Amino acid sequence: MHERDEHARAAPKIGIVLGSGAAWGAAHVGVLQTLEDAGIRISVIVGASSGALIGAGYAAGMSAGELAERLQELRWSSFADWHPSRRWTLFDSSPLHRALAETGRPLDIEDLDRAFGVLAFDIRKRQAVLLRSGSLATALRASIAIPGVLPPIRVNGGILVDGSLGDRDAVRAATDLGADRVIAVRLHSEPGADASMTVRLLDTISGARLARSRERASSVLQPDVLIRPDTQGMSRWSARDVPRLIASGQVAAQAALPMIHDMVSTFSARD
């Protein structure tokens, strides 16, 4: 067997989980940029909410540098139109379909360059859903669907909303997609912390005790390496702090590189 083939077999398939956090998601780009510069190959990506948006671009073959440039150009109108006449929501997320079509990148999840999964939450079944095939735009619209702000999306008979509700299942989702080792980027202190507002809204609207059902969910699978960019004092709902957030992601990823290199070498030496 050729030396290159032996190295490929020995190296782990690394997955990365990009958590929710609205504009804080810009920090994910800084993390990806640092990993890219360090030669860390990401094979599997799972994203929730804003993490799904960033992950989709990276899975489609965009470099971290390209993503950083796009972030500077993005406006709210890239994802949604003001539509207060819609029942239960203020905005319509259908412009996301047009925005993706204009990129010239693959429009179905299974056609992306890297294995990719989008987390959403089925409010009928009260459980997280991993979207791993089909329309990329539809999956992303489901994952960013904050109740009361953006409309829920119907997929395969389910009614799907905000991917932050599925954050707790993200590491398990990455392993299901084939990752041998998982890096998680968390923009909050605890997994699922971004879901609190969504849970309260859904409890109010539907009377369903989602918070209680989430507490009864299976235990959280922990990542091999956890990266926590510092988002303190930075805007969560505007693009004002995008450059600072990208830099924060770079700093946090740089600090985690020794653990990541150790994770890779330990896997390669396991036999």
Q: Is the dihedral of CA 51, 54, 105, 180 positive or negative?
A: negative
| Interatomic CA distance for residues 12 and 22, integer angstroms | 30
Is position 176 annotated as part of the catalytic site? no
| Interatomic CA distance for residues 20 and 105, integer angstroms | 23
| Residues belonging to the chain | 271
In angstroms, what CA-CA distances link 186 with 72, 81, 82, 123, 249?
A: 22, 29, 30, 24, 10
Choose, from 20, 50, 143, 162, the residue flagged as catalytic: 162
**In the beta sheet, which residues pair with residue 182?**
15
Choose, from 20, 49, 143, 164, the residue flagged as catalytic: 49
Is position 49 annotated as part of the catalytic site? yes
Q: Is 72 exposed, middle or buried (0-12, 13-18, 19+ CB in 10 A)?
A: exposed
191: its two tokens: 């997994």
In angstroms, what CA-CA distances link 198 with 84, 131, 164, 256?
A: 19, 20, 8, 31
Which residue type is seen at 83?
Answer: H
Positions annotated as catalytic residues are: 49, 162
